[in-house]
Structure 1
Amino acid sequence: MKAFITPLLFFAMTSLQAQQPSAVGEYYMHGVMETASAFALKDDSTFEFYYSYGAVDRFGKGKWHQKGDSIILNSNEKHISSFKLVKSEQHPGKDLTIKFSNPDRNLLSYLSCLAKSSKEQNFGRTDNNGIATVPMKSADSLYVVFELCPERISSFKVTNKNYFEFELEPWVAEVTFDNFPLRLTAKGLEGHHPLLDPNKVVLYERQ
């Protein structure tokens, strides 16, 4: 009997796998006002993601794989920091100065930083030239963020300096996926959005 059941189970499993619909295709987010977002799952197991809302477009890419009706997304690279510290010096004065640079100068007024020491912490925001002034003589650490990508906070340990220059990395607007799950349905993909309310399930309709 065992020799008979085992082939039956094998053929049943093979049949179920064959009936599983292919996930390859393009899926567009549905039901979120004034926001455009989509996933493109390609037949070489790579994916592309985009999100457009307001002043900046976000993007992502990587590999996907299917497990039953689950689609799992992972970025090719998971960058630790969105900024590069290119200079730190001691200048005359009582404040901390943080200067940011980027080829697109329109982005320079959307940067914030938090300076911390063992005794205090203070906040600064850039002007149109990408310069932020923080009313502190020194700091032990700096936290910097591009406000249009608020989930990407970068931290730096600093000592005995009060002037800092940062560059925005090319991937500052990239969205990172780490075992991000979506569920394949008859209509498309269902799941959370990597940048929106984590408690809300959205539908990405298949085109």
Structure 2
Amino acid sequence: MEGGIAGEYYMEGQREMASGFLLRPDGSFQFFFTYGAMDRFGSGKWSVKDSRVTFNSRVKPLYDYVLMQSSANSSDFTTIKMDVPNPALLRHVFCSLQKGVEGSWEQMSQEGDIQFPKQEVESVSLLFEFCPERFSIIPVHHPGHNEFTFRFEPTIMEVFFEIFSLQVDPGGLSGRHPLMEGDQFRYPKQ
């Protein structure tokens, strides 16, 4: 059955976006999702059992951001900075010093920083708006520090799969989408 399932499958019925799976005969797959100028991707291995295709990829990194440096200074603020190669991304990063509690998120400035009232910091929560499922709480090992600089992990836009499955139907696959809500998506075979 697996050999007959290999092929290209593209999501249908969604406006202004494209998404699909390439299932190779060797059991590997590639995934893509495009919405406007944003591209997401993933890859891994697929298998078939009981008319379901199951997708698994390598293990997702523990954090989606790297703490590059932290320091203590005499400022009256706790400052979180992002070091990114494309400044246009900065306004899409949000930060919380309260483990992501609703109402605690602040948006990065165009300069790539956020200032909170000075406080002891146990962790920094970061969220990139284009990858809302990739929310990280990063522990801080020096609670007395009040300036922290982060960068994205290179895998920030990658989609990771862990026992994600789709139903094999005549002419394609159906079920959920790895990034969108709902379970009524169709992926006809091309």
User: What is the TM-score of this pair, normalised by structure 2?
Assistant: 0.90
Aligned residue in 2 for 1:6 = none
Report runs of 4+ in structure 1 exceeding 6 Å deviation.
none
Aligned residue runs from structure 1 range 89-168, under 5 A? 89-116=71-98, 122-158=104-140, 159-168=143-152
Give yes or no for the alignment of 1:203 onto 2:186.
yes
Q: Which has the higher helix share?
A: 1
Task: Verify the 8 A CA contact 1:112 1:144 in the aligned structure 2.
Answer: yes
Aligned residue runs from structure 1 range 13-24, under 5 A? 22-24=4-6
Rounded Cα–Cα distance in structure 1 between residues aligned with 2:138 and 2:185: 36
Identity %: 36
Structure 2: gaps spanning 5 or more residues: none
Give yes or no for the alignment of 1:193 onto 2:183.
no
* Match of residue 183, structure 1, among 148, 164, 167: 167
**Pair 1:54–1:130, CA change in 2 (3 A):** farther
AA in 2 matched with 1:47: F
RMSD: 1.8
Rounded Cα–Cα distance in structure 2 between residues aligned with 1:109 and 1:95: 20
- Cα distance, 1:130 vs. partner? 1.7
The C-alpha deviation readout for 1:58-77, integer Å capped at 9, x for no partner, is: 11000001113110000123
Aligned residue in 1 for 2:42 = 60
Rounded Cα–Cα distance in structure 1 between residues aligned with 2:64 and 2:116: 21
Aligned residue in 1 for 2:158 = 174
Q: What is the total number of aligned residue pairs between the two structures?
A: 185
AA in 2 matched with 1:201: Q
* Match of residue 54, structure 2, among 58, 68, 72: 72
Task: Verify the 8 A CA contact 1:190 1:203 in the aligned structure 2.
Answer: yes
- Cα distance, 1:149 vs. partner? 0.3
AA in 2 matched with 1:168: F
Structure 1: gaps spanning 5 or more residues: 1-16
User: What is the TM-score of this pair, normalised by structure 1?
Assistant: 0.83
Rounded Cα–Cα distance in structure 1 between residues aligned with 2:21 and 2:97: 37
- Cα distance, 1:21 vs. partner? 6.8
Rounded Cα–Cα distance in structure 1 between residues aligned with 2:78 and 2:165: 42
Rounded Cα–Cα distance in structure 2 between residues aligned with 1:124 and 1:185: 44
Give yes or no for the alignment of 1:88 onto 2:70.
yes
Rounded Cα–Cα distance in structure 1 between residues aligned with 2:23 and 2:156: 23
- Cα distance, 1:45 vs. partner? 0.6
